Amino acid sequence: MKKRLIPYDPKLKELAKELRNNSTLGEVILWKKLRNRQLMGYDFHRQKPLLNYIVDFYSGSLSLVIELDGNSHNRSEVQLKDAQKEKAIKEYDITVLRFTETQVRFQIDDVMRVLEDYVLRFKERES
């Protein structure tokens, strides 16, 4: 299956850079597990502009976005924005997996098992 190029707003590049430089503890912990192709050889980018949004982690080869939700994501207006973002991203056949900041900080092994399971299922579908 040929991957579609996903457009993004170039104005978001500077904000993405700022977000990378001011990561949450959960983002730092997960990035240490994803960077340098540590998840089964797949490449990830962090704070990646896609469409009119910035996603926490993105792997184009896996068609996967990983979002970490902190306390602000409990507010209804943030949940509405998250739903709009997820809907737009899914239109490009990208899976969005969400974890809480707390899950990543205190249950990173469980989070990694979910991600590894996704990769295995993805590889099965692609073969």
Amino acid identity, position 122? F
Contacts (Cβ under 8 Å, ≥6 apart) of 113: none
Residue 53 main-chain phi, psi, to 5 deg: -130, 165
Residue 55, in any domain of the structure: yes
Residue 49, in any domain of the structure: yes
Q: What is the mean pLDDT of the chain?
A: 93
67-106 burial string, b = 16+ CB within 10 Å, else e?
bbbeeeeeeeeeeeebeebbeebeeeebbeeebbbebbbe
Residue 5, in any domain of the structure: no
Question: For residue 104, what is the domain's CATH number?
Answer: 3.40.960.10
Range of the domain at 89: 12-126
- Is residue 110's pLDDT more than 90? yes
- In whole angstroms, what is the distance from residue 41 CA to residue 5 CA? 22
pLDDT in tens, 49-91: 999 999 999 999 999 999 999 876 667 887 899 999 999 999 9
Give the pTM. Answer: 0.93
- Give the chain's domain count: 1
- Strand spans (E) along the chain: 45-50, 53-59, 64-69, 95-100
H-run or E-run covering 92 = none
Residue 38, in any domain of the structure: yes
